[in-house]
Amino acid sequence: MRRTRRRGRQRSPIIACLGLAGVILASCSAAASRPATSSTVAQPARSSSSTSTTKPVTTTTFPASFGVGLRKLSFTDTTRVILNYETSPPTELSPRRTIATQIRYPISATLGKGKQEMAGATPAAGGPFPVIVFAHGYAVMPDTYRLLLDAWVRAGFVVVSPVFPVTNYYEWLRQGGGGSPEADVGNQPYDVAFVIGRLFALSSDPGSFLDGLVDLHRLGLAGQSDGATTIAGLVYGSFYAMNFAAMAVHPLAIAILSGAEFQAVTYSDPSGGPALLSVESDDDYCNPTQKATALYDAVAGGARAHWFLTLEGADHSGPYFGLQPWAGVVQRVTTGFFELALRARDRPVAPADLARAGDVAGVAALSGAVHVTLAPTSPSGDCGTPSPFPPPGP
């Protein structure tokens, strides 16, 4: 699917029903820079900032690769609504906010042999496994990123992917003709925090398959495009600070994949914050480079570890949908980053491993600088490579 966004529009915050503020993205991005080539790379986090007690990490010998299991859950937040953007102003579509959630998890490589993903398969031995919560972009589904998400699972992570109730592919089709469902992105940080809270509760419920499978004290958050903006807003944005502080568990690692700041939201870089990886394509005309670097520059200084990966000649979407040669670099660097920050493998991962994965002549460059500089791009053209996978049924 290829889509084109309208450019140059200014989005101001709206107030959602029941008093929830729907902070809106600035028109997908704006001033940037190419990564500096020298800097001291900070060391990764050693412990969680969670308000709960951190459990000791058990060292497990992992196989070379796991298979991928898939289950789906649904979580309903009765305190917030779903809006209908076919009307102006938006009206209430549902009095509660239901969030379908995909959970990909490690299974035996033998069990998963020859299969892309196995629905309902028995989890592999060796858990609990560290968790990555992934936020999808606008007008797509988590399955759009299947190759990237499966790469993380094969390395030994549980990957949790909420399907945002307004900005997913099917609601975009339904509501896009009469309004701007993308305006709902400002509500998505609350969705992510809510899903993490439900996961945390289920992780200690003997009746749940998540009991013994997930270790939320080793939590990473990631997102692409509007999903990246969602994650950054939750973790670093002043508007969501109270919500973030109230979470039962906090992330050790954040991966921002072609993301930007929310308009009219202040961003801070609290000292000792989670390890940070930002990825941006220098030919990104959907999320101009200056927006991605502005976000990184605003928050990298306080991170326990920080890296910026520049994808050379890539577009906004292709590297995350599977377009080579960039997709392989993204998979290797993000996997290594989470292994390092979440202490996920029995074999040690070092910053030098990330450098080897991220520095590929003519394809990508990795920097540990606190501030980066990329040549600015203009917000014109479409948002990049269509998804290689047809979206699943609604």
Q: Check residue 35 and give its pLDDT.
A: 32
Q: Check residue 68 and give its pLDDT.
A: 96
Reported pTM: 0.85
Comparing 161 with 263, the larger pLDDT belongs to 161
Rounded Cα gap, residues 212 and 155, in angstroms? 18
Comparing 205 with 109, the larger pLDDT belongs to 205
Rounded Cα gap, residues 132 and 215, in angstroms? 10
3-state secondary structure of 189: helix
Q: 97, 81 in Cβ contact below 8 A?
A: yes
User: pLDDT at residue 66 above 70?
Assistant: yes
* Vertex 103: Cα angle to 156 and 262 (nearest 5): 100
How many other CB atoms are found less than 10 A from the CB of residue 272?
Answer: 10
From the list 26, 21, 18, 27, the residue with the least C-alpha distance to 186 is: 21
Sorting pLDDT into bands at 50, 70 and 90, what band is 293? very high
* Vertex 220: Cα angle to 214 and 226 (nearest 5): 125
Q: Check residue 161 and give its pLDDT.
A: 98
Give the position of tokens 């920097």. Answer: 367
Q: Check residue 272 and give its pLDDT.
A: 86
Sorting pLDDT into bands at 50, 70 and 90, what band is 109? confident
Q: Check residue 339 and give its pLDDT.
A: 93
The rounded mean pLDDT for the chain is 83
From the list 249, 357, 267, the residue with the least C-alpha distance to 303 is: 267
From the list 163, 160, 164, the residue with the least C-alpha distance to 214 is: 160
Q: Is residue 39 part of a domain?
A: yes
Domain containing 334 equals: 28-50+60-373
Q: Is residue 258 part of a domain?
A: yes
Cα dist from 264 to 24, 94, 156, 261, 290, whole Å: 9, 27, 38, 9, 17
CATH of the domain at 279: 3.40.50.1820
Q: Is residue 3 part of a domain?
A: no
Sorting pLDDT into bands at 50, 70 and 90, what band is 114? low
Q: Are strands 91-94 and 82-84 parallel, antiparallel or unpaired?
A: antiparallel
Q: Check residue 14 and give its pLDDT.
A: 36
Calculate mean pLDDT across residues 247-265. Answer: 95
Helical (H) or strand (E) element with 221:
strand 214-224
Sorting pLDDT into bands at 50, 70 and 90, what band is 24? very low
Q: Check residue 350 and give its pLDDT.
A: 80
Query: Of the given ranges (36-40, 62-66, 277-281), which has the lowest mean pLDDT?
Result: 36-40
Q: Is residue 274 part of a domain?
A: yes
131-173 pLDDT, tens digit each: 999 999 999 999 999 999 999 999 999 999 999 999 999 988 8
3-state secondary structure of 148: helix
Sorting pLDDT into bands at 50, 70 and 90, what band is 57? very low
* 369 token code pair: 């600088």
Cα dist from 204 to 75, 123, 162, 316, whole Å: 17, 16, 20, 39
User: pLDDT at residue 6 above 60?
Assistant: no
From the list 301, 296, 242, the residue with the least C-alpha distance to 271 is: 301
Q: Is residue 69 part of a domain?
A: yes
User: pLDDT at residue 263 above 80?
Assistant: yes
Q: Is residue 387 part of a domain?
A: no
User: pLDDT at residue 45 above 70?
Assistant: no
Rounded Cα gap, residues 237 and 242, in angstroms? 10
Q: Is residue 172 part of a domain?
A: yes
Calculate mean pLDDT across residues 28-48. Answer: 32
Number of domains composing the chain: 1
Q: Is residue 15 part of a domain?
A: no
